[in-house]
Chain A
Amino acid sequence: MNETVSQAVAKAAAARPQHALGEELLRQLRRPFPWLVVAFTLLCGFVPYLTDDVGLRESLLLAAVYVTLASNLNLMIGFAGYVNFGNIVFFGLGGYIGVYLATSWHVNLVAASLAAGVLVGFLAYLFGLGILRLRGAFFALATIGVNEAVRAFVTNFEPWGGATGIYLSMDAYAPLGGPMAGLWICYFLLVAVMGLSLLLAYAIKTSKFGLGLLAIGQNEDAAAVLGVPTPLYKAIIYSVSGFFPAVAGSLYFFKSGIIEPTSAFDLTASIESIVMLMLGGAQTITGPVIGAFLYEELRGYLLVSQTFSHLQLVLAGALLLLIVLFVPGGFMGWLHTRLPWLRRWLE
Protein backbone atom coordinates (compact mmCIF):
# COMPACT_ATOMS: atom_id res chain seq x y z
CA MET A 1 0.00 0.00 0.00
CA ASN A 2 2.61 2.54 1.11
CA GLU A 3 4.89 1.37 -1.67
CA THR A 4 2.20 1.96 -4.24
CA VAL A 5 1.77 5.63 -3.28
CA SER A 6 5.44 6.46 -3.57
CA GLN A 7 5.75 4.36 -6.71
CA ALA A 8 2.73 5.91 -8.34
CA VAL A 9 3.85 9.46 -7.67
CA ALA A 10 7.44 8.78 -8.70
CA LYS A 11 6.49 6.79 -11.79
CA ALA A 12 4.01 9.33 -12.99
CA ALA A 13 6.57 12.09 -12.46
CA ALA A 14 9.22 10.23 -14.43
CA ALA A 15 7.26 9.16 -17.47
CA ARG A 16 4.97 11.80 -18.85
CA PRO A 17 3.52 11.07 -22.25
CA GLN A 18 3.50 14.12 -24.46
CA HIS A 19 0.29 14.82 -26.35
CA ALA A 20 0.60 17.28 -29.17
CA LEU A 21 -2.28 19.60 -29.90
CA GLY A 22 -2.79 18.07 -33.33
CA GLU A 23 -3.10 14.63 -31.81
CA GLU A 24 -5.77 15.90 -29.43
CA LEU A 25 -7.68 17.39 -32.37
CA LEU A 26 -7.50 14.11 -34.27
CA ARG A 27 -8.82 12.28 -31.23
CA GLN A 28 -11.78 14.66 -31.09
CA LEU A 29 -12.51 14.17 -34.78
CA ARG A 30 -12.71 10.43 -34.27
CA ARG A 31 -15.60 10.93 -31.89
CA PRO A 32 -19.10 10.86 -33.33
CA PHE A 33 -20.57 13.93 -31.66
CA PRO A 34 -18.91 16.78 -33.64
CA TRP A 35 -20.00 15.06 -36.87
CA LEU A 36 -23.55 14.78 -35.61
CA VAL A 37 -23.52 18.54 -35.01
CA VAL A 38 -22.21 19.16 -38.53
CA ALA A 39 -24.85 16.86 -40.05
CA PHE A 40 -27.63 18.50 -38.03
CA THR A 41 -26.48 21.98 -39.07
CA LEU A 42 -26.34 21.03 -42.76
CA LEU A 43 -29.78 19.45 -42.50
CA CYS A 44 -31.25 22.61 -40.96
CA GLY A 45 -29.54 24.70 -43.62
CA PHE A 46 -30.53 22.76 -46.72
CA VAL A 47 -33.95 21.21 -46.08
CA PRO A 48 -35.90 24.51 -46.28
CA TYR A 49 -33.78 25.63 -49.25
CA LEU A 50 -34.24 22.45 -51.28
CA THR A 51 -37.97 22.27 -50.51
CA ASP A 52 -38.23 26.05 -50.96
CA ASP A 53 -40.35 26.14 -47.80
CA VAL A 54 -40.30 29.73 -46.52
CA GLY A 55 -42.51 28.90 -43.52
CA LEU A 56 -40.13 26.19 -42.41
CA ARG A 57 -37.21 28.57 -42.92
CA GLU A 58 -38.73 31.23 -40.67
CA SER A 59 -39.49 28.71 -37.96
CA LEU A 60 -35.99 27.19 -38.14
CA LEU A 61 -34.43 30.66 -38.19
CA LEU A 62 -36.03 31.45 -34.84
CA ALA A 63 -34.98 28.04 -33.54
CA ALA A 64 -31.39 28.69 -34.64
CA VAL A 65 -31.40 31.98 -32.72
CA TYR A 66 -32.84 30.25 -29.66
CA VAL A 67 -30.29 27.44 -29.81
CA THR A 68 -27.47 29.98 -30.12
CA LEU A 69 -28.71 31.92 -27.10
CA ALA A 70 -29.36 28.83 -24.96
CA SER A 71 -26.12 27.09 -25.88
CA ASN A 72 -23.95 30.11 -25.10
CA LEU A 73 -25.88 30.73 -21.90
CA ASN A 74 -25.02 27.14 -21.00
CA LEU A 75 -21.33 28.11 -20.96
CA MET A 76 -22.10 30.41 -18.03
CA ILE A 77 -24.93 28.61 -16.22
CA GLY A 78 -24.16 25.00 -17.00
CA PHE A 79 -20.37 25.09 -16.93
CA ALA A 80 -19.25 27.96 -14.69
CA GLY A 81 -22.37 27.91 -12.49
CA TYR A 82 -23.12 31.62 -12.86
CA VAL A 83 -26.70 32.58 -13.70
CA ASN A 84 -26.64 35.33 -16.31
CA PHE A 85 -30.12 36.86 -16.27
CA GLY A 86 -29.17 39.65 -18.62
CA ASN A 87 -27.71 37.47 -21.37
CA ILE A 88 -29.91 39.14 -24.00
CA VAL A 89 -27.71 42.23 -23.77
CA PHE A 90 -25.14 40.42 -25.95
CA PHE A 91 -27.78 39.76 -28.61
CA GLY A 92 -29.17 43.29 -28.55
CA LEU A 93 -25.86 45.12 -28.46
CA GLY A 94 -24.45 42.85 -31.17
CA GLY A 95 -27.53 43.65 -33.23
CA TYR A 96 -27.02 47.39 -32.88
CA ILE A 97 -23.32 47.29 -33.67
CA GLY A 98 -23.77 45.01 -36.69
CA VAL A 99 -26.75 46.85 -38.14
CA TYR A 100 -25.07 50.21 -37.60
CA LEU A 101 -21.86 49.11 -39.31
CA ALA A 102 -23.74 47.51 -42.20
CA THR A 103 -26.02 50.49 -42.83
CA SER A 104 -24.10 53.63 -41.91
CA TRP A 105 -20.61 52.46 -42.78
CA HIS A 106 -21.63 50.00 -45.53
CA VAL A 107 -19.53 47.25 -44.04
CA ASN A 108 -20.04 43.77 -45.49
CA LEU A 109 -22.66 41.88 -43.42
CA VAL A 110 -20.34 39.05 -42.38
CA ALA A 111 -17.56 41.45 -41.38
CA ALA A 112 -20.03 43.68 -39.52
CA SER A 113 -21.41 40.69 -37.62
CA LEU A 114 -17.96 39.42 -36.71
CA ALA A 115 -16.97 42.91 -35.59
CA ALA A 116 -20.11 42.99 -33.42
CA GLY A 117 -19.12 39.66 -31.88
CA VAL A 118 -15.56 40.75 -31.16
CA LEU A 119 -16.58 44.12 -29.73
CA VAL A 120 -19.29 42.65 -27.50
CA GLY A 121 -16.89 39.93 -26.38
CA PHE A 122 -14.30 42.54 -25.47
CA LEU A 123 -16.80 44.68 -23.56
CA ALA A 124 -18.05 41.56 -21.76
CA TYR A 125 -14.49 40.74 -20.73
CA LEU A 126 -14.04 44.18 -19.15
CA PHE A 127 -17.44 44.03 -17.45
CA GLY A 128 -16.80 40.45 -16.39
CA LEU A 129 -13.63 41.31 -14.49
CA GLY A 130 -15.78 43.65 -12.41
CA ILE A 131 -19.14 41.97 -11.88
CA LEU A 132 -17.79 38.43 -11.61
CA ARG A 133 -16.47 39.34 -8.19
CA LEU A 134 -20.09 38.93 -7.17
CA ARG A 135 -21.58 35.52 -6.57
CA GLY A 136 -24.96 33.85 -6.72
CA ALA A 137 -27.99 36.12 -6.60
CA PHE A 138 -25.83 39.26 -6.54
CA PHE A 139 -24.20 38.33 -9.82
CA ALA A 140 -27.60 37.56 -11.36
CA LEU A 141 -28.88 40.98 -10.26
CA ALA A 142 -25.80 42.70 -11.66
CA THR A 143 -26.35 41.08 -15.07
CA ILE A 144 -29.90 42.47 -15.14
CA GLY A 145 -28.36 45.82 -14.26
CA VAL A 146 -25.95 45.59 -17.18
CA ASN A 147 -28.81 44.89 -19.60
CA GLU A 148 -30.93 47.75 -18.27
CA ALA A 149 -27.99 50.17 -18.29
CA VAL A 150 -27.12 49.34 -21.89
CA ARG A 151 -30.78 49.66 -22.87
CA ALA A 152 -30.97 53.10 -21.21
CA PHE A 153 -27.76 54.17 -22.94
CA VAL A 154 -28.92 53.03 -26.37
CA THR A 155 -32.35 54.65 -25.91
CA ASN A 156 -30.55 57.97 -25.51
CA PHE A 157 -27.85 57.41 -28.10
CA GLU A 158 -28.81 59.49 -31.12
CA PRO A 159 -26.41 57.94 -33.70
CA TRP A 160 -28.34 54.69 -33.16
CA GLY A 161 -31.72 56.39 -33.52
CA GLY A 162 -32.47 56.71 -29.80
CA ALA A 163 -35.82 55.25 -28.76
CA THR A 164 -36.98 54.75 -32.36
CA GLY A 165 -34.00 52.64 -33.34
CA ILE A 166 -32.59 51.97 -36.79
CA TYR A 167 -34.69 51.06 -39.83
CA LEU A 168 -33.10 49.41 -42.83
CA SER A 169 -34.08 50.47 -46.31
CA MET A 170 -34.43 47.93 -49.10
CA ASP A 171 -31.11 49.23 -50.47
CA ALA A 172 -29.37 47.71 -47.47
CA TYR A 173 -29.96 44.27 -48.97
CA ALA A 174 -28.55 45.19 -52.40
CA PRO A 175 -25.04 43.88 -51.61
CA LEU A 176 -26.60 40.48 -50.84
CA GLY A 177 -28.43 40.39 -54.17
CA GLY A 178 -31.73 41.87 -53.09
CA PRO A 179 -34.12 41.25 -50.17
CA MET A 180 -35.14 37.72 -51.21
CA ALA A 181 -31.60 36.42 -51.55
CA GLY A 182 -30.68 38.42 -48.43
CA LEU A 183 -33.19 36.53 -46.32
CA TRP A 184 -31.71 33.21 -47.40
CA ILE A 185 -28.18 34.39 -46.78
CA CYS A 186 -29.08 35.62 -43.27
CA TYR A 187 -30.75 32.28 -42.65
CA PHE A 188 -27.72 30.23 -43.74
CA LEU A 189 -25.41 32.40 -41.66
CA LEU A 190 -27.62 32.06 -38.57
CA VAL A 191 -27.74 28.30 -38.94
CA ALA A 192 -23.95 28.30 -39.27
CA VAL A 193 -23.68 30.39 -36.09
CA MET A 194 -25.89 27.83 -34.34
CA GLY A 195 -23.64 24.96 -35.49
CA LEU A 196 -20.48 26.81 -34.47
CA SER A 197 -21.99 27.62 -31.06
CA LEU A 198 -22.60 23.91 -30.48
CA LEU A 199 -19.09 22.98 -31.62
CA LEU A 200 -17.67 25.70 -29.36
CA ALA A 201 -19.59 24.35 -26.38
CA TYR A 202 -18.38 20.84 -27.17
CA ALA A 203 -14.77 21.97 -27.59
CA ILE A 204 -14.89 23.82 -24.27
CA LYS A 205 -16.55 20.96 -22.44
CA THR A 206 -13.90 18.47 -23.56
CA SER A 207 -10.97 20.79 -22.81
CA LYS A 208 -8.85 21.53 -19.79
CA PHE A 209 -10.41 25.00 -19.70
CA GLY A 210 -13.82 23.31 -19.53
CA LEU A 211 -12.72 21.10 -16.65
CA GLY A 212 -11.62 24.23 -14.78
CA LEU A 213 -15.00 25.84 -15.46
CA LEU A 214 -16.89 22.78 -14.25
CA ALA A 215 -14.77 22.86 -11.08
CA ILE A 216 -15.68 26.54 -10.58
CA GLY A 217 -19.34 25.66 -11.10
CA GLN A 218 -19.15 22.99 -8.42
CA ASN A 219 -17.22 24.86 -5.74
CA GLU A 220 -15.35 28.01 -6.64
CA ASP A 221 -13.23 28.17 -3.48
CA ALA A 222 -12.13 24.57 -3.78
CA ALA A 223 -11.35 25.12 -7.47
CA ALA A 224 -9.07 28.05 -6.61
CA VAL A 225 -7.22 26.01 -3.98
CA LEU A 226 -6.71 23.32 -6.63
CA GLY A 227 -5.07 25.92 -8.86
CA VAL A 228 -7.85 27.00 -11.21
CA PRO A 229 -7.27 30.71 -11.99
CA THR A 230 -10.87 31.56 -11.18
CA PRO A 231 -11.09 35.33 -11.95
CA LEU A 232 -9.47 34.88 -15.37
CA TYR A 233 -11.50 31.82 -16.34
CA LYS A 234 -14.77 33.47 -15.33
CA ALA A 235 -14.00 36.63 -17.29
CA ILE A 236 -12.99 34.61 -20.35
CA ILE A 237 -16.13 32.49 -20.36
CA TYR A 238 -18.36 35.51 -19.79
CA SER A 239 -16.71 37.14 -22.78
CA VAL A 240 -16.80 34.01 -24.96
CA SER A 241 -20.47 33.42 -24.12
CA GLY A 242 -21.19 36.85 -25.60
CA PHE A 243 -19.51 36.34 -28.96
CA PHE A 244 -21.96 34.16 -30.92
CA PRO A 245 -25.11 35.74 -29.43
CA ALA A 246 -23.77 39.10 -30.64
CA VAL A 247 -23.08 37.72 -34.12
CA ALA A 248 -26.56 36.19 -34.16
CA GLY A 249 -28.07 39.49 -33.01
CA SER A 250 -26.40 41.33 -35.86
CA LEU A 251 -27.69 38.82 -38.45
CA TYR A 252 -31.15 38.58 -36.91
CA PHE A 253 -31.82 42.32 -36.72
CA PHE A 254 -30.31 42.89 -40.15
CA LYS A 255 -32.71 40.30 -41.49
CA SER A 256 -35.65 41.83 -39.56
CA GLY A 257 -34.91 45.25 -41.06
CA ILE A 258 -35.48 47.09 -37.79
CA ILE A 259 -33.83 47.29 -34.40
CA GLU A 260 -35.11 49.29 -31.45
CA PRO A 261 -34.23 49.21 -27.72
CA THR A 262 -37.33 47.45 -26.34
CA SER A 263 -37.05 44.44 -28.60
CA ALA A 264 -33.24 44.33 -28.58
CA PHE A 265 -32.84 44.31 -24.80
CA ASP A 266 -35.98 42.39 -23.88
CA LEU A 267 -35.49 40.75 -20.46
CA THR A 268 -38.29 38.33 -21.31
CA ALA A 269 -36.07 36.81 -23.98
CA SER A 270 -33.32 36.39 -21.38
CA ILE A 271 -35.64 34.47 -19.13
CA GLU A 272 -36.98 32.43 -22.03
CA SER A 273 -33.46 31.31 -22.91
CA ILE A 274 -32.96 30.18 -19.31
CA VAL A 275 -36.19 28.15 -19.59
CA MET A 276 -34.95 26.55 -22.82
CA LEU A 277 -31.62 25.68 -21.28
CA MET A 278 -33.12 24.14 -18.16
CA LEU A 279 -35.79 22.34 -20.17
CA GLY A 280 -33.25 20.68 -22.45
CA GLY A 281 -30.63 20.14 -19.79
CA ALA A 282 -27.83 22.42 -18.61
CA GLN A 283 -24.24 21.09 -18.77
CA THR A 284 -25.07 19.01 -21.84
CA ILE A 285 -24.45 20.13 -25.42
CA THR A 286 -27.59 18.62 -26.95
CA GLY A 287 -29.84 19.96 -24.17
CA PRO A 288 -30.02 23.56 -25.42
CA VAL A 289 -31.00 22.29 -28.90
CA ILE A 290 -33.83 20.15 -27.58
CA GLY A 291 -34.92 22.85 -25.14
CA ALA A 292 -34.95 25.52 -27.86
CA PHE A 293 -37.00 23.44 -30.31
CA LEU A 294 -39.45 22.28 -27.63
CA TYR A 295 -39.88 25.79 -26.32
CA GLU A 296 -40.41 27.25 -29.77
CA GLU A 297 -43.15 24.68 -30.43
CA LEU A 298 -44.78 25.40 -27.10
CA ARG A 299 -44.52 29.15 -27.56
CA GLY A 300 -45.96 28.93 -31.06
CA TYR A 301 -48.89 26.93 -29.78
CA LEU A 302 -49.54 29.25 -26.84
CA LEU A 303 -49.34 32.43 -28.90
CA VAL A 304 -52.03 31.35 -31.35
CA SER A 305 -54.24 29.65 -28.78
CA GLN A 306 -57.29 31.71 -27.70
CA THR A 307 -57.06 30.75 -24.06
CA PHE A 308 -53.33 30.98 -23.47
CA SER A 309 -52.13 33.82 -25.64
CA HIS A 310 -51.73 36.16 -22.68
CA LEU A 311 -50.45 33.47 -20.36
CA GLN A 312 -47.37 32.47 -22.36
CA LEU A 313 -44.90 33.89 -19.83
CA VAL A 314 -46.85 32.64 -16.85
CA LEU A 315 -46.62 29.14 -18.27
CA ALA A 316 -42.91 29.58 -19.08
CA GLY A 317 -42.31 30.56 -15.45
CA ALA A 318 -44.33 27.63 -14.15
CA LEU A 319 -42.43 25.32 -16.48
CA LEU A 320 -39.09 26.60 -15.20
CA LEU A 321 -40.23 26.04 -11.62
CA LEU A 322 -41.33 22.49 -12.34
CA ILE A 323 -38.08 21.62 -14.09
CA VAL A 324 -35.88 23.05 -11.35
CA LEU A 325 -37.89 21.23 -8.69
CA PHE A 326 -38.39 17.85 -10.29
CA VAL A 327 -36.00 17.38 -13.23
CA PRO A 328 -33.00 19.60 -12.46
CA GLY A 329 -30.98 17.84 -15.16
CA GLY A 330 -33.57 18.73 -17.81
CA PHE A 331 -34.48 16.39 -20.63
CA MET A 332 -30.91 15.33 -21.47
CA GLY A 333 -29.97 14.91 -17.81
CA TRP A 334 -32.97 12.66 -17.37
CA LEU A 335 -32.10 10.71 -20.51
CA HIS A 336 -28.44 10.33 -19.54
CA THR A 337 -29.26 8.81 -16.15
CA ARG A 338 -31.61 6.32 -17.80
CA LEU A 339 -29.44 5.47 -20.79
CA PRO A 340 -25.80 6.04 -19.78
CA TRP A 341 -24.47 4.63 -23.10
CA LEU A 342 -26.13 7.56 -24.85
CA ARG A 343 -23.54 9.96 -23.39
CA ARG A 344 -21.05 8.79 -25.97
CA TRP A 345 -23.34 9.79 -28.83
CA LEU A 346 -25.24 12.76 -27.52
CA GLU A 347 -23.08 14.84 -25.23
Chain B
Amino acid sequence: MSALLEVTHLSRRFGGVHAVSDLSFSVDEGEILGVIGPNGAGKSTLFNLINGVVPPDAGRIVFDGVDITGEPPYAVARRGIARAHQIMQPLLGLTVLENCMVGACFGRENMSLADARAAAREVAQSVGLGDRVDTLAGALTTAGKKRLEMARALSARPRLLLLDEVLAGLNPTEIAHMIETIRGIRRSGITILMIEHVMRAIMSLSDRIVVLNLGRKLAEGRPREIAENPDVIKAYLGDSKLLAAVEAAP
Protein backbone atom coordinates (compact mmCIF):
# COMPACT_ATOMS: atom_id res chain seq x y z
CA MET B 1 0.00 0.00 0.00
CA SER B 2 1.24 3.44 -0.86
CA ALA B 3 0.23 6.71 0.73
CA LEU B 4 -2.48 8.57 -1.18
CA LEU B 5 -2.40 11.58 1.11
CA GLU B 6 0.60 12.70 3.10
CA VAL B 7 0.41 15.53 5.57
CA THR B 8 3.69 16.74 7.03
CA HIS B 9 4.28 19.27 9.82
CA LEU B 10 1.00 21.03 9.09
CA SER B 11 0.23 24.11 11.20
CA ARG B 12 -2.46 26.74 11.22
CA ARG B 13 -3.16 29.44 13.79
CA PHE B 14 -6.23 31.61 14.19
CA GLY B 15 -5.06 34.62 16.19
CA GLY B 16 -3.47 33.08 19.25
CA VAL B 17 -5.14 29.72 18.88
CA HIS B 18 -3.12 26.87 17.43
CA ALA B 19 -5.95 25.12 15.64
CA VAL B 20 -3.56 22.61 14.08
CA SER B 21 0.11 22.41 15.02
CA ASP B 22 2.90 20.35 13.58
CA LEU B 23 0.59 17.58 12.47
CA SER B 24 1.90 14.72 10.34
CA PHE B 25 0.12 11.59 9.17
CA SER B 26 -0.65 9.73 5.99
CA VAL B 27 -3.62 7.96 4.48
CA ASP B 28 -2.97 4.80 2.50
CA GLU B 29 -4.73 4.03 -0.74
CA GLY B 30 -7.93 2.12 -0.04
CA GLU B 31 -8.05 2.54 3.72
CA ILE B 32 -10.50 4.23 6.05
CA LEU B 33 -8.65 6.52 8.43
CA GLY B 34 -10.70 7.87 11.32
CA VAL B 35 -9.97 11.21 13.00
CA ILE B 36 -11.28 11.67 16.52
CA GLY B 37 -10.72 14.17 19.27
CA PRO B 38 -12.61 16.39 21.71
CA ASN B 39 -14.43 19.48 20.44
CA GLY B 40 -11.98 22.15 19.33
CA ALA B 41 -9.22 19.61 18.68
CA GLY B 42 -8.78 20.98 15.14
CA LYS B 43 -10.51 18.24 13.18
CA SER B 44 -12.60 20.43 10.91
CA THR B 45 -9.69 22.85 10.48
CA LEU B 46 -7.64 19.90 9.30
CA PHE B 47 -10.24 19.19 6.61
CA ASN B 48 -10.35 22.87 5.64
CA LEU B 49 -6.56 22.78 5.24
CA ILE B 50 -6.61 19.62 3.16
CA ASN B 51 -9.23 20.82 0.68
CA GLY B 52 -7.87 24.32 0.43
CA VAL B 53 -10.62 26.30 2.15
CA VAL B 54 -7.97 27.66 4.52
CA PRO B 55 -4.27 27.89 3.59
CA PRO B 56 -1.79 26.47 6.13
CA ASP B 57 0.80 28.63 7.92
CA ALA B 58 3.36 25.88 7.58
CA GLY B 59 3.66 22.31 6.43
CA ARG B 60 2.94 20.37 3.27
CA ILE B 61 0.03 18.40 1.89
CA VAL B 62 0.91 15.88 -0.80
CA PHE B 63 -1.88 14.12 -2.66
CA ASP B 64 -1.00 11.26 -4.97
CA GLY B 65 2.59 12.44 -5.19
CA VAL B 66 1.68 16.06 -6.01
CA ASP B 67 2.16 18.94 -3.59
CA ILE B 68 -1.27 20.57 -3.28
CA THR B 69 -0.43 22.89 -0.37
CA GLY B 70 -2.19 26.22 -0.80
CA GLU B 71 -4.23 25.26 -3.86
CA PRO B 72 -7.76 26.72 -3.91
CA PRO B 73 -10.68 24.37 -3.11
CA TYR B 74 -11.83 24.00 -6.72
CA ALA B 75 -8.37 22.89 -7.83
CA VAL B 76 -8.20 20.37 -5.01
CA ALA B 77 -11.64 19.05 -5.96
CA ARG B 78 -10.49 18.67 -9.56
CA ARG B 79 -7.60 16.51 -8.36
CA GLY B 80 -9.99 14.03 -6.81
CA ILE B 81 -10.64 15.05 -3.20
CA ALA B 82 -14.34 15.42 -2.36
CA ARG B 83 -15.88 16.43 0.93
CA ALA B 84 -19.13 15.98 2.79
CA HIS B 85 -19.56 18.80 5.28
CA GLN B 86 -20.46 18.55 8.93
CA ILE B 87 -22.87 21.45 8.51
CA MET B 88 -24.66 20.50 5.32
CA GLN B 89 -24.26 22.95 2.50
CA PRO B 90 -26.84 21.88 -0.05
CA LEU B 91 -27.53 24.18 -2.98
CA LEU B 92 -31.05 24.72 -1.67
CA GLY B 93 -32.67 26.10 -4.80
CA LEU B 94 -31.40 23.28 -7.01
CA THR B 95 -32.83 19.78 -7.17
CA VAL B 96 -31.13 16.73 -5.69
CA LEU B 97 -30.11 15.68 -9.20
CA GLU B 98 -28.67 19.11 -10.04
CA ASN B 99 -26.73 19.16 -6.76
CA CYS B 100 -25.13 15.86 -7.65
CA MET B 101 -24.53 17.02 -11.21
CA VAL B 102 -22.47 19.94 -9.92
CA GLY B 103 -20.29 17.43 -8.10
CA ALA B 104 -19.96 15.25 -11.20
CA CYS B 105 -19.37 18.10 -13.66
CA PHE B 106 -16.64 19.84 -11.72
CA GLY B 107 -15.02 16.87 -10.01
CA ARG B 108 -12.09 14.74 -11.02
CA GLU B 109 -13.50 13.56 -14.33
CA ASN B 110 -14.66 16.91 -15.68
CA MET B 111 -17.77 15.26 -17.11
CA SER B 112 -20.08 16.71 -19.72
CA LEU B 113 -23.56 17.69 -18.62
CA ALA B 114 -25.13 14.57 -20.12
CA ASP B 115 -22.60 12.20 -18.54
CA ALA B 116 -22.98 14.04 -15.24
CA ARG B 117 -26.75 13.58 -15.36
CA ALA B 118 -26.38 9.83 -15.78
CA ALA B 119 -23.70 9.54 -13.11
CA ALA B 120 -25.63 11.72 -10.66
CA ARG B 121 -28.76 9.63 -11.12
CA GLU B 122 -26.88 6.42 -10.35
CA VAL B 123 -25.16 7.80 -7.29
CA ALA B 124 -28.39 9.32 -5.95
CA GLN B 125 -29.98 5.92 -6.38
CA SER B 126 -27.13 4.20 -4.57
CA VAL B 127 -27.34 6.37 -1.43
CA GLY B 128 -31.11 5.97 -1.30
CA LEU B 129 -32.20 9.25 -2.86
CA GLY B 130 -33.35 7.62 -6.10
CA ASP B 131 -36.97 8.66 -5.70
CA ARG B 132 -36.09 12.22 -4.65
CA VAL B 133 -33.96 13.31 -7.62
CA ASP B 134 -36.37 16.04 -8.69
CA THR B 135 -36.97 17.33 -5.15
CA LEU B 136 -35.45 20.69 -4.28
CA ALA B 137 -32.55 20.16 -1.87
CA GLY B 138 -34.14 22.64 0.53
CA ALA B 139 -37.15 20.35 0.95
CA LEU B 140 -35.14 17.34 2.20
CA THR B 141 -35.09 16.18 5.82
CA THR B 142 -31.86 16.35 7.85
CA ALA B 143 -31.07 12.74 7.05
CA GLY B 144 -31.86 13.42 3.41
CA LYS B 145 -29.51 16.40 3.34
CA LYS B 146 -26.74 14.27 4.89
CA ARG B 147 -27.27 11.71 2.15
CA LEU B 148 -27.19 14.49 -0.41
CA GLU B 149 -23.82 15.74 0.94
CA MET B 150 -22.54 12.23 0.50
CA ALA B 151 -24.09 11.72 -2.94
CA ARG B 152 -22.78 15.04 -4.20
CA ALA B 153 -19.25 14.22 -3.04
CA LEU B 154 -19.46 10.73 -4.56
CA SER B 155 -20.75 12.04 -7.88
CA ALA B 156 -17.34 13.62 -8.37
CA ARG B 157 -15.88 10.08 -8.38
CA PRO B 158 -13.16 11.16 -5.98
CA ARG B 159 -10.10 9.16 -5.05
CA LEU B 160 -10.22 10.51 -1.52
CA LEU B 161 -13.44 11.27 0.33
CA LEU B 162 -13.44 13.54 3.37
CA LEU B 163 -16.40 12.77 5.62
CA ASP B 164 -16.99 15.33 8.35
CA GLU B 165 -19.37 13.94 10.98
CA VAL B 166 -21.82 12.50 8.51
CA LEU B 167 -23.46 10.47 11.29
CA ALA B 168 -24.16 13.42 13.61
CA GLY B 169 -27.84 14.08 14.09
CA LEU B 170 -29.01 10.78 12.63
CA ASN B 171 -31.13 8.24 14.50
CA PRO B 172 -29.81 4.68 15.09
CA THR B 173 -31.55 3.24 12.01
CA GLU B 174 -30.19 6.00 9.81
CA ILE B 175 -26.72 5.51 11.32
CA ALA B 176 -26.77 1.78 10.53
CA HIS B 177 -27.85 2.61 7.00
CA MET B 178 -25.11 5.22 6.58
CA ILE B 179 -22.43 2.84 7.91
CA GLU B 180 -23.36 0.33 5.26
CA THR B 181 -23.18 3.08 2.66
CA ILE B 182 -19.67 4.04 3.81
CA ARG B 183 -18.55 0.40 3.65
CA GLY B 184 -19.91 0.23 0.12
CA ILE B 185 -17.97 3.35 -0.87
CA ARG B 186 -14.73 1.85 0.40
CA ARG B 187 -15.40 -1.35 -1.48
CA SER B 188 -15.70 0.67 -4.67
CA GLY B 189 -12.07 1.66 -4.21
CA ILE B 190 -12.41 5.13 -2.70
CA THR B 191 -10.11 6.03 0.16
CA ILE B 192 -11.87 7.64 3.12
CA LEU B 193 -10.71 10.09 5.77
CA MET B 194 -13.48 10.58 8.31
CA ILE B 195 -14.13 12.68 11.37
CA GLU B 196 -16.69 11.16 13.68
CA HIS B 197 -17.99 11.48 17.22
CA VAL B 198 -20.11 8.34 17.13
CA MET B 199 -17.46 6.08 18.70
CA ARG B 200 -19.05 2.79 17.96
CA ALA B 201 -19.26 3.65 14.29
CA ILE B 202 -15.74 4.97 13.85
CA MET B 203 -14.24 2.12 15.85
CA SER B 204 -15.90 -0.44 13.62
CA LEU B 205 -15.34 1.37 10.31
CA SER B 206 -11.74 2.60 10.60
CA ASP B 207 -8.65 0.64 9.71
CA ARG B 208 -6.60 3.13 11.68
CA ILE B 209 -7.42 6.11 13.85
CA VAL B 210 -5.62 9.39 14.49
CA VAL B 211 -6.49 11.15 17.74
CA LEU B 212 -6.17 14.94 17.87
CA ASN B 213 -6.10 17.06 20.98
CA LEU B 214 -5.53 20.84 20.99
CA GLY B 215 -4.35 20.69 17.39
CA ARG B 216 -1.71 18.04 18.00
CA LYS B 217 -1.60 14.35 17.31
CA LEU B 218 -2.16 12.54 20.56
CA ALA B 219 -2.10 9.01 19.25
CA GLU B 220 -2.32 6.93 16.09
CA GLY B 221 -3.06 3.26 15.63
CA ARG B 222 -5.59 0.52 15.19
CA PRO B 223 -8.96 1.04 16.88
CA ARG B 224 -8.20 -1.33 19.74
CA GLU B 225 -4.81 0.25 20.45
CA ILE B 226 -6.45 3.66 20.51
CA ALA B 227 -9.19 2.56 22.88
CA GLU B 228 -6.61 1.20 25.31
CA ASN B 229 -4.26 4.17 25.09
CA PRO B 230 -4.12 5.93 28.48
CA ASP B 231 -3.49 9.37 26.93
CA VAL B 232 -6.57 9.04 24.78
CA ILE B 233 -8.73 7.92 27.67
CA LYS B 234 -7.50 10.93 29.66
CA ALA B 235 -8.27 13.36 26.82
CA TYR B 236 -11.77 11.98 26.66
CA LEU B 237 -12.07 12.53 30.44
CA GLY B 238 -11.87 8.89 31.27
CA ASP B 239 -14.54 7.73 28.94
CA SER B 240 -14.36 4.01 29.64
CA LYS B 241 -16.99 3.46 26.99
CA LEU B 242 -14.25 3.66 24.36
CA LEU B 243 -13.23 0.06 24.90
CA ALA B 244 -16.83 -1.03 25.14
CA ALA B 245 -17.40 0.60 21.75
CA VAL B 246 -14.65 -1.49 20.17
CA GLU B 247 -15.97 -4.65 21.72
CA ALA B 248 -19.51 -3.91 20.65
CA ALA B 249 -18.41 -3.20 17.10
CA PRO B 250 -19.42 -5.98 14.70
A residues in contact (CB < 8 Å) with B = 1-13, 16-17, 19, 24, 206-208, 211-212, 214-215, 217-219, 221-230
Contact = CB atoms under 8 A, between A and B. Distances in A.
B91 A1 contact: no
Contacts of B53: 221, 224-225
How many interface residues does chain B have, given as a range? Answer: 35 or more
A283 to B, nearest CB: 8
A42 to B, nearest CB: 29
Contact of B114 (A8, A17, A215): A17
Contact of A16 (B83, B103, B115, B152): B115
Please give me the 4 A-B residue pairs with the lowest Cβ-Cβ distance, nearest first.
A5-B184, A227-B106, A227-B77, A2-B184
Contact of A225 (B77, B122, B125, B189): B77
B74 A208 contact: no
A207 B105 CA distance: 11
Contacts of A217: 93
Contacts of A214: 91, 93-94, 98
A9 B107 contact: no
A29 to B, nearest CB: 15
Interface in B98-119: 98, 101-103, 105-107, 109, 111-116, 118-119
Contacts of A219: 89-92
A2 B205 CA distance: 14
Contacts of B119: 12
Given A24-B113, A211-B98, A215-B91, 15 more contacts: A6-B189, A9-B157, A12-B157, A13-B157, A16-B115, A24-B114, A206-B113, A211-B101, A212-B102, A212-B105, A214-B93, A226-B156, A227-B74, A227-B78, A229-B106
B72 interface: yes
B183 interface: yes
Interface of B: 51, 53, 72-75, 77-78, 82-83, 85, 89-94, 98, 101-103, 105-107, 109, 111-116, 118-119, 122-123, 125-128, 152, 154, 156-157, 177, 180-181, 183-185, 187-190
A5 B94 contact: no
Contacts of A24: 112-114
Contacts of A222: 85, 89-91
Contacts of B114: 17, 19, 24
A17 B118 contact: yes
B174 to A, nearest CB: 13
Nearest to B149: A222
14 contacts: A3-B184, A6-B188, A9-B188, A9-B190, A12-B119, A208-B112, A214-B93, A215-B91, A221-B89, A222-B85, A224-B72, A225-B73, A225-B74, A227-B106
B126 A4 contact: yes
A217 B93 CA distance: 9
Nearest to A23: B114
A214 B190 CA distance: 28
Given A9-B126, A13-B157, A227-B106, A2 B89 contact: no
A2 B122 contact: no
Contact of B126 (A5, A17, A228): A5
Contacts of B157: 9, 12-13
Contacts of A9: 123, 126, 154, 157, 185, 188-190
Contact of A2 (B85, B98, B105, B181): B181
B74 A4 contact: no
B113 A229 contact: no
Contacts of B183: 2
A10 to B, nearest CB: 5
Contact of A6 (B103, B125, B187): B187
Nearest to A228: B106
A207 B113 contact: yes
